[in-house]
């Protein structure tokens, strides 16, 4: 059984973390395969949105802790540098929107990988846990970077130290995620959002993402310059011409992602 399921349908790449009996905890194979699939999404021009979800009850329980104590395992020194850090970089640098559809519990690196995506939605029975403190680790996979920026320093600090379980409804309320949906409608809502993202001007979204990445540590002056240079590129795309024509002709635009 492969630890990552991958399917491209109607310009959407569906990536499913697939170790359900381990709550989709990451082992080396799954982390490397995920990187491979993210690369494929970047290269394949037919892909205009990536959706990441988990098989079974959980989204992802973070690192497979049995691998950490396995003498034949990758060893601590490789886990961040070869597994999680490249995954977070690939998601943030992918020139296409990445939607995480958090179907169940997301813990440790599993939570922080979900939270670094461009749009994060969760099912009503999902939850987010900064599980690291409970086993003597520090939050990784970008958690110490994104969480204080998403929900403020105090809440980030307390969640990281206490390792609270944050239910999806609370995650939406405090701005940790975009939206939660009741379990019955979660899948259809996730697909609807993925379809919308896949039909928007892909290059415009890619530059929006790059500008947001830069906003996390640039001054206003630098950010205004970034917007200026990216807007010139966006305004030279076919999708911009199509968007303006469609508006003036009072019709639905047909964006092709170029
Ligand atoms: C698991 C796991 C798991 C293996 C559930 N591993 N089997 C970076 C640097 C280097 C090293 C370490 O890691 C990292 C990054 C990290 O991600 S550190 C954080 C690692 N993750 C955790 O500490 C979370 C551990 N899991 C849990 O706390 C719970 O399982 C959660 C809260 C996720 C779910 O709780 P429950 O709903 O009560 O489910 P459960 O505990 O019964 O788990 C279900 C099954 O999944 C169970 O297997 P079993 O055969 O007994 O049914 C668990 O053993 C397995 N599982 N997480 N991380």
Which pLDDT tens digits describe the chain residue by residue (258 residues)?
Answer: 899 999 999 999 999 999 999 999 999 999 999 999 999 999 999 999 999 999 999 999 999 999 999 999 998 889 999 999 999 999 999 999 999 999 999 999 999 999 999 999 999 999 999 999 999 999 999 999 999 999 999 999 999 999 999 999 999 999 999 999 999 999 999 999 999 999 999 999 999 999 999 999 999 999 999 999 999 999 999 999 999 999 999 999 999 999
Domains of the chain: 4-198 (3.90.226.10), 202-248 (1.10.12)
Give distance in angstroms: CA of 23 to centre of ligand 1.
7
- With a 6 A CB cut-off, is 131 part of the ligand 1 pocket? yes
Q: How far apart are CA 71 and CA 74, in angstroms?
A: 8
Q: What is the separation of C-alpha 224 from the centre of its chain, rounded to a whole number of angstroms?
A: 26
What integer pLDDT is reported at residue 241 of this predicted model? 97
Q: How far apart are CA 37 and CA 35, in angstroms?
A: 5
- With a 6 A CB cut-off, is 121 part of the ligand 1 pocket? no
- With a 6 A CB cut-off, is 64 part of the ligand 1 pocket? yes
Angle at alpha carbon of residue 66, lines to 63 and 70, rounded to 5°: 115
What integer pLDDT is reported at residue 1 of this predicted model? 82
Torsion angles phi and psi, residue 117, rounded to 5? -75, 165
Q: Which residue, judged by its Cα, is nearest atom 25 of ligand 1?
A: 61
- With a 6 A CB cut-off, is 69 part of the ligand 1 pocket? no
Give distance in angstroms: CA of 2 to centre of ligand 1.
19
What integer pLDDT is reported at residue 76 of this predicted model? 84
- With a 6 A CB cut-off, is 68 part of the ligand 1 pocket? yes
| Tens digit of each residue's pLDDT (9 = 90 or more) over 108-137 | 999 999 999 999 999 999 999 999 999 999
Structural tokens at position 35:
């990187």
Q: Give the single-character DSSP code of 181.
A: E
What integer pLDDT is reported at residue 248 of this predicted model? 98
- With a 6 A CB cut-off, is 22 part of the ligand 1 pocket? yes
- pTM recorded for the entire structure: 0.98
Give distance in angstroms: CA of 62 to centre of ligand 1.
7
What integer pLDDT is reported at residue 207 of this predicted model? 98
61 Cβ contact list (under 8 Å, min separation 6): 22, 23, 24, 25, 105, 107, 108, 110, 131
**Ligand 1 pocket test: which of 61, 84, 87, 110 has the largest number of ligand atoms within 8 Å of its C-beta?**
61
What integer pLDDT is reported at residue 201 of this predicted model? 98
């Amino acid at each position: 059984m492969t630890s990552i399921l991958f399917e491209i349908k109607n310009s959407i790449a569906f990536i499913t973390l697939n170790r359900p009996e381990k709550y989709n905890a990451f082992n080396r194979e799954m982390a490397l395969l995920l990187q491979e699939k993210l690369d494929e999404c970047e290269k394949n021009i037919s892909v205009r949105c990536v959706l990441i979800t988990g098989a079974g009850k959980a989204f992802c329980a973070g690192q497979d802790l049995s691998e950490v104590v396995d003498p034949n395992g990758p060893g601590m020194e490789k886990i961040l540098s070869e597994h999680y850090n490249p995954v977070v970089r690939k998601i943030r640098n992918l020139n296409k929107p990445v939607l995480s559809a958090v179907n169940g519990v997301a813990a440790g690196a599993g939570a922080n990988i979900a939270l670094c995506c461009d749009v994060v939605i969760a099912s009503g029975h999902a939850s987010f846990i900064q599980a690291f403190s409970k086993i003597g680790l520090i939050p990784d996979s970008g958690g110490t970077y994104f969480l204080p920026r998403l929900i403020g320093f105090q809440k980030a600090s307390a969640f990281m130290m206490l390792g609270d379980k944050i239910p999806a409804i609370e995650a939406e309320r405090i701005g940790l995620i975009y939206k939660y949906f009741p379990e019955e409608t979660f899948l259809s809502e996730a697909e609807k959002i993925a379809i919308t993202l896949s039909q928007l001007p892909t290059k415009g979204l890619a530059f929006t993402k790059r500008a947001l990445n830069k906003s996390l540590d640039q001054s206003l002056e630098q950010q205004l310059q970034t917007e200026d240079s990216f807007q010139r590129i966006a305004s030279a795309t076919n999708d911009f011409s199509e968007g303006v024509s469609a508006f003036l002709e009072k019709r639905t635009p047909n964006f092709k992602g170029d």
